[in-house]
Structure 1
Amino acid sequence: MDGNFDMLVENGWLFKNDENQLLHYFSDIVKKYPNSARAKFELGNVYDYLGQEMKAIPLYEEALEMSLKDEWEAYALIQLGSSLKNVGKLNDALEVLTEAETRFPHLLSISMFLGITLHHANRESEGMKTVLKELCVK
């Protein structure tokens, strides 16, 4: 199914310049695969892309509850944390990104998002340390 989903996703993003068609395409995938965590994650990505984080957040949460494969779970945690930050839910974002960094320490992008979120939460020093630690170690 993953290879099939990869192709479905690639085909869907061909509509990135037509927001209505993009949203319709990925909404149809969720309707076609209602029990697919990956489908919900991808629709969340679309809402994020469209600047509609409040609609993306519950889709990411649902996808994570449904059990994504590790690769997609890491991406979903990053996306969820970023979206939470963007809507001003900094404590929730920090919780999600801290969990993600603990579970996926090899992904530099998680530490970068965590550092940015710490900065937005007026914890600039801690945010800078998080980013610099990762840059110096990796």
Structure 2
Amino acid sequence: MDGNFDMLVENGWLFKNDENQLLHYFSDIVKKYPNSARAKFELGNVYDYLGQEIKAIPLYEEALRMGLKAEWEAYALLQLGSSLNNVGKLQDALSVLTEAETRFPHLLSISMFLGITLHNANKESEGMKTVLRAIMRQVKTTDLERYSFALDNYINKL
């Protein structure tokens, strides 16, 4: 079904410049596949894209409760956290994004969204630490390796 869903999703986003058509297309997918967590996630994604995070949040939550494959679960957690941040539910956003970063530490995007949310929650130092630690964890260059001891010390002092 994943390959089929990938094609359905690709086809749906051809309507990205027509909000009504886009929403209608993905709403129809949910009607056609009412027991599909992926369908709910994708409709949430559309609402998010349209700036309607309030409508996206329950769809992400439902998709997560229903169960998604790891890749889509990571995206759903990230997008749920981002949407919660955008509607001012910072503590909920921090909870979701912290869980996501713990479970998917290899996805820099999650760490970046967590860092932004920490900043929005007036935890600027923690936000900066989160992003810098993610960079140190994921980016392997000779200059970062050369200065890793010093950078780690500076990051810890933030």
TM-score w.r.t. structure 2 length?
0.83
Match of 1:129, SS state, is helix
Distance 1:107 1:22 in 2: 28
Unaligned runs of 5+ in 1: 133-137
CA positional deviation for 1:76? 0.2
How far residue 104 of structure 1 moved from its aligned partner, in angstroms, is 0.6
Question: Structure 1: how far apart are the matches of 2:98 and 2:129?
Answer: 14
Shift of 1:126: 0.6
TM-superposed deviation, 1:44: 0.2
Larger relative contact order (CA 8 Å, sep ≥ 6): 1
Which residues of 2 match residues 10-29 of structure 1 at below 5 A? Answer: 10-29=10-29
**Offset, 1:89:** 0.1
Q: Which has the larger radius of gyration?
A: 2
SS at match of 1:40: helix
1:91-120: per-residue Cα shift (whole Å, max 9, x none)?
000000000001111111110000000000
Instruction: Note the aligned Cα RMSD (angstroms).
Output: 1.7
- SS of 2:88's partner is coil
SS of 1:51's partner is coil
1:48 corresponding residue in structure 2: 48
Deviation >6 Å, runs of 4+ = none
**Deviation of residue 62 (structure 1)?**
0.1
User: Number of residue pairs matched?
Assistant: 133
